Structure 1
Amino acid sequence: MFNSFLYLLRSKGLNVSLNEWLSLNEALDKGLAYSGFTSFYYLCRSVLIKSETDFDKFDGAFLEFFKDIDFLNDIPKELMDWLNKPKETPGNYDEETARKNMALDYKRIEEMLRERLEEQDSEHNGGKYWVGTGGMSVFGNNGNSPKGIRVGGESVHKRAFRVAGERHFKEFDESNIIDIRQFQMAFRKLRQFSSKTDEPKSELDLDKSIDETCNNAGKLKLVYDRPRRNTVKVLMLIDSGGSMDYYRDLCGRLFMAVRKSNHFKDLKIYYFHNAIYERLYTDAECMPGRWIETETLLRTLGSDYKVIIVGDAAMAPYELVGSSNYFFSYSQMGEGNGLEWFRKIKGRFSHIVWLNPGNMNYIPGNYWRETLGILQEEFDMYPLSVGGLETALKKLISAK
C-alpha cells in the first residue's frame, strides 16, 4: 500500500523504520484513521515522526504526496473562485454571533462546513451562514468571526484554526535556531554599565595599576576596582492567546533569546490576553490564580525598568475602550478598561516600547484594526524582527 510515500518520507530526511511503517499499516487495517483524511494525517504523524523538529519536513512530504486530494472532499472550483476574490464588507461585526461562534468546537464546525458544501450553489459575501467572504460565518476568508476554518483567500486576522494546505510547524525546524541567536545579539545592545555597586573591589584596573607602578619607581602596585555590571532591569509583557497564537513560534524565539541574555540586573516576564487589566499572568496559559495584581507590580517595581510590550494590538474595540472588561469572565476583572491600564503602565515607566509581530498597517474602518490605530498613538511601536528589535532597544537606551 502506497509504499512510494515511505520512500518519499525517507528522501526528505525522515528516519522512518520498517517497523514503524508496518505499524501504520496495521493501524489503518484496524480503522484507526476513522475514514477521515485529517485523522489519517494525524495517525501518520503520530506513528512515523519522532520529534516535533521533523513536523515541518513531514508536512511538506505529506502535501507533496497527497496534493491531488482536496481538503474536505473536493471543495468545488466555482466556490474557490468566489472565495479567492473577497469583497470588502466593512462594519458588519456582530458581537452576539462572535460569541456563538467561539462556543463551537472544531468538529462541529467541520460538520457544518460539509453541510454547507452540499447546500450552497451561489456566491455569498458578508453573511453569517454560507461559505463566503467578509462576514461572520465560521468558514470562508477575510471575515470577522473570532474562530473558524479559512477556505481560499489569504489570512487577514489570523484567527482560523484550520486551513487546507497550511504548514504550522515550519518554525520548529532546527534550521531556524539562527533566529534566536540574532535576537540574542540584538539584546546585547540593552546594556548600561556602572561600577557604582556594593560589590567588593575585585576586578583588576590595568590602566591604574600601570600608573601606580610607574609612580612607585617601577615596583609593581596593583589597583583593584569594583566590577562594572549591567544595571538594566527589564519588564516584558507578552500578549498570549487568540490571534497571537499565529505568532507563538516567533514570540517563543524572542522569549528564549531574552531568557538566555542573562546579563540583565533583573528580568521579569508577565502575560496578558489582548489588553492589560487588573491582573497580569505568570505563564502564557493565562490561567486563574496564576497572576499578580497589576497595581502591585506598579507599586513594587521602580520606574527605572525598561518595558517591552509584545503583541499584535488586535482585538475587539470593546476589550480596549469598553466600560469594563468581560472578555475573560472567569478572571473577575474589576473596573477600568484596557486603554486605561495601558496608560497606567506608560505613566509609571518612561522607558517603554511595543514590539508587534503582525501587520502594523492601520486600515480605517476595519473592525479588528481599530485598536491597532489607538495603541500606535499611545506607544512607540516597532515590528518584531531583528531590525525592529534593534531599533526598539536603541530607543529604550536613549529615551529620557
Structure 2
Amino acid sequence: MLIDFFLHLKARKLPVSTREFLTLLEALQAHVCGPSIDDFYVLARACLVKDESLYDRFDQAFGEYFKGVTEIPGLEAELPEEWLRAMARKHLTPEERAKLEKLGWKKLMDEFRKRLAEQKGRHQGGNKWIGTGGSSPFGNNGTHPEGIRIGGESAGNRTAVKVWDKREFRNLDDSVELGTRNIKVALRRLRRFARQGAAEELDLDGTIAATARNAGWLDLMMRPERHNAVKVLLFLDVGGSMDDHIKVCEELFSACRLEFKHLEYFYFHNCVYEGVWRDNQRRHAERTPVFDVIHKYGPDYKLIFVGDATMSPYEILHPHGSVEHMNAEAGATWLRRLLDAYPAAAWLNPEPERLWDYRKSIELIRQIMADRMYPMTLDGLTRAMQGLSKKH
C-alpha cells in the first residue's frame, strides 16, 4: 500500500526520494504515529516534503490516494501482553467460586481425556472446554478450585493439581553472602554432636607441659580430633511456590556448604518421587534415581528436606499425582523409603508456622515425617539440629 503511495506521489511530480521514503518506513516501525490517517498525514509530509511550496501539491495527491480511508492498516495499537492476560482472566464472586465443583482425582483425569477427545478448536473464557481465562478445570489463566493447567502462566491461584508444561528452575546460589550468622550458629549444633567420640590426636602443647612437670619423662597427652565428621543429605524443593522463599533457601544452602564438610544435595519439585537431580538446567536429562541415592549414601547421613510442603494432596497420596510427570508410585511411598533408610531426618519449612494448620498437604507431610517438621527460623533450626543429634 505504501509503495503505491510513493509511486503516486512521483506520478504527481513531487520530488520524493527513496531515502525519504525509507525514513518514513523507519518512523512507522518505531511507532512514531498511530493508525489515525491524520497522524500519518503529518508524519508523511514531514518525512517526504522538504519545500513548503510543495505542501498544496502534496495535500492534493494525499487526498486523492487516501480518499475515504480513516486508519492505516497494520498500525493498530498494541496493548501490553500483561494487560491482555489480565483481561482474559475470569473474575468470579465468592458465590460463583463456591458453585464450582471439585471433581476429585479420578473424575478429573477421566473428564480431561473425554474433553480432549471431543474438543475441535480453541476456546477462551468458558466453563467447559480446554481453554484460557475461564472457569473450566482445564486450561490456563482461569479460575477453578482444582484442575489441570496446560501451558501458559498461572493465574496466581495455585490450585492446579497437575501442570502440563515445561518449566525451568534455577540452581540455588551457594556463595550468597549471609545477612546474619544465626543460621550458621544453629547448624554448628549438629557439628558439635558429630565431634563427640571422634578419634583422638596428639596434644603437642599439653604433652610438652606434662613432660616438663614429669622431670623430663615423656608424658603423652591426647585430645579429641577436631574435625567435621557429620554427614548431611540435603533435599531442596525448587520452583513453583518455593520461588517466594529463594533468598532464605540460598542463605541456608550457603551456610550448609560452609559448615558441613560431608554434604550431598539434590533438588526435587513439591514432593520427592523416583528421581532427583543436582542441576536444575539439566534436570530432564540428568536425573539420579532415589534408589541409587539410598544405595550410595549410608544410614549415618542426616536427612534434611527443605520445602514449603504446599501442593495438591494428590501429589503426595496418588500415583500419577505429580504436576510434572506420570509417577508410577505415590510421593508418600518415596518419602517413607528415604525415612526408612535415614532414621535421623528433619523437614525445614520456610512457610510461617501459623499457616501450617490451614494446608492439607503440610498436615500430610508432617504425619509422614512423624512431626519432625520445623519452621525455618532460628528457633526452628535449633530444634531441628537437636532432633538430628539424638541417637536413633
TM bin, normalised by shorter chain, reads: 0.5 to 0.7
Are 1:271 and 1:281, in contact at CA under 8 Å, matched by a contact in 2?
yes
2:351 aligns with 358
1:280 maps to which residue?
A: 276
Q: 5+ residue gaps in structure 1?
A: 1-27, 36-68, 101-111, 160-171
CA-to-aligned-CA distance 1:107-164 (integer Å, 9 cap, x gap): xxxxx9xx86xxx9xxx9x99989799977844779546574558xxx77699xxxxx
Q: What amino acid is aligned across from residue 83 of structure 2 in structure 1?
A: L
Q: Does 1:92 align with 2:102?
A: yes
* Counterpart residue type for residue 371 of structure 1: S
Q: Are 2:387 and 1:370 aligned?
A: no
Give the aligned partner of residue 52 of structure 1. none
Query: Taking structure 1 as reference, are residues 337 and 156 closer, same or farther at Cα in structure 2, changes over 3 Å only?
Result: closer
Q: Which amino acid in structure 1 is aligned with residue 373 of structure 2?
A: M
Residues 144 and 323 of structure 1, relative CA distance in 2, 3 Å threshold: closer
Correspondence 1:1-400 to 2 at 5 A: 31=30, 72=83, 92=102, 95=108, 138-139=140-141, 144=146, 148=153, 150=155, 177-179=177-179, 181-191=181-191, 192-194=194-196, 196-197=198-199, 201-204=201-204, 206=206, 209-214=208-213, 216-217=214-215, 223=221, 225=223, 227-261=225-259, 264-285=260-281, 287-324=283-320, 327-329=323-325, 335-358=328-351, 361-362=355-356, 369-379=359-369, 380-400=372-392
Whole-angstrom CA distance in 1 between matches of 2:130 and 2:221: 77
Q: CA deviation at 1:390?
A: 2.0
Give the AA of the match of 1:348. A
Question: Matched residues, percent identical?
Answer: 25
Answer yes or no: is the 8 Å Cα contact 1:276–1:341 preserved in 2: yes
Residue deviations 1:24-72 (CA, integer Å, cap 9, x gap): xxxx997499x9xxxxxxxxxxxxxxxxxxxxxxxxxxxxxxxxx9x73
**C-alpha contact 2:112 2:138 (8 A) present in aligned 1:** no
Give the equivalent residue in structure 2 for 1:169: none
Alignment partners' CA distance in 2, 1:247 and 1:265? 25
Contact 1:203 1:227 in 2 (8 A): no
For residues 129 and 182 of structure 2, the distance between their equivalents in structure 1, rounded to whole angstroms, comes to 44
**Structure 2 vs 1, CA of residues 304 and 185 (structure 1 numbering), >3 Å: closer, same or farther?**
same
Counterparts of 1:295 and 1:177, CA distance in 2: 34
Contact 1:356 1:381 in 2 (8 A): yes
Residues 1:235 and 1:73: Cα distance change in structure 2 (over 3 Å): closer
- Specify the SS of the correspondent of 2:83: coil
| CA contact 1:312–1:358 (8 Å) conserved in 2 | yes
How far apart, CA to CA, are the structure 1 residues paired with 2:137 and 2:320?
27
1:93-112 CA deviation, whole Å, 9 max, x = no partner? 67569989xxxxxxxxxxx9
CA offsets 1:314-336 (integer angstroms, 9 cap, x no match)? 2333332223566444xx85x43
Distance 2:244 2:110 in 1: 23
Higher-Rg structure is 2
In structure 2, how many angstroms separate the alpha carbons of the residues matched to 1:31 and 1:186? 57
Q: Residues of 2 paired with 1:31 and 1:83: CA distance?
A: 42
Q: Deviations over 1:335-394 (max 9, x none)?
A: 432111100111111110001122553567xxxx43322111111111123332222112
Structure 1 residue 179: deviation in Å? Answer: 3.7
- Give TM-score scaled by structure 1 length: 0.56
Cα distance change, pair 158–319 in 1 and its aligned pair in 2 (3 A): closer
The 2-side partners of 1:129 and 1:343 are apart by: 38
TM-score normalised over the length of structure 2 = 0.57
SS at match of 1:189: helix
